Amino acid sequence: MTEYMQEIRKKVGHMTVMQCGASVIVENKNGDILLQLRKDNGCWGYAGGSVEIDEVVENAAKRELFEETGLTANKLELFGVFSGKDMHYIYPNGDEVSNIDIVYICKDYSGELRKQESEVYELCFYPVNKLPANLSPPNIKVMNAYIASR
């Protein structure tokens, strides 16, 4: 959780807040996508997180990708902006968010996979036609759009 979101949570508790996210779907040369098994909800999802105050969204996406996976995005391509009722989520700790997720695709990256110990159990590339069943709920709308775009 970003410093900004931590401060907001201190003031509003679990109340619904709008959360602007910056996320990255990493695609390897085989067309497989990188997913992480998240510690907060035990589901698989792409790398991403909240944008800090005054942070450039693309920089936030690159930051989140590096923090969570150890990979550096050399080039990002805007995939889409996702919002609405199906992006609303209640985390297992009770925090409620209405997500606006700005999602990028990254095919040009460098570095070695290294999971963020505090947030990630496992990192794995999956073929698009063999994604795990337990996708993180806020990622489902985006993943359906991603699959449809291929």
Q: Where are the domains of the chain?
A: 3-149
Q: What is the pLDDT of residue 3?
A: 86
pLDDT at position 12 is 97
Q: Are 62 and 72 in contact (CB under 8 A)?
A: yes
> What are the E-state strand segments in 11-57?
17-26, 33-38, 44-45, 47-50
Given this model, what pLDDT does residue 132 score?
97
Q: 3-149: which CATH number, 3.40.640.10, 3.90.79.10, 1.10.645.10, 3.40.50.150? A: 3.90.79.10
Residue closest to 90 by CA, chosen among 136, 142, 51, 141? 136
Residue 1 in this model has a pLDDT that exceeds 90: no
Q: Name the residues annotated as catalytic.
A: 122
d(CA 57, CA 74): 15
**pLDDT tens sequence across 73-130:** 999 999 999 999 999 999 999 999 999 999 999 999 999 999 999 999 999 999 999 9
Q: Amino acid identity, residue 37?
A: L
Average pLDDT over residues 31-51: 97
Look at phi and psi of residue 17 and say left if phi exceeds 0, alpha if psi is from -120 to 50, else beta: beta
Strand partners, 105: 25, 77
Give Cα 53 to chain centroid, integer Å.
18
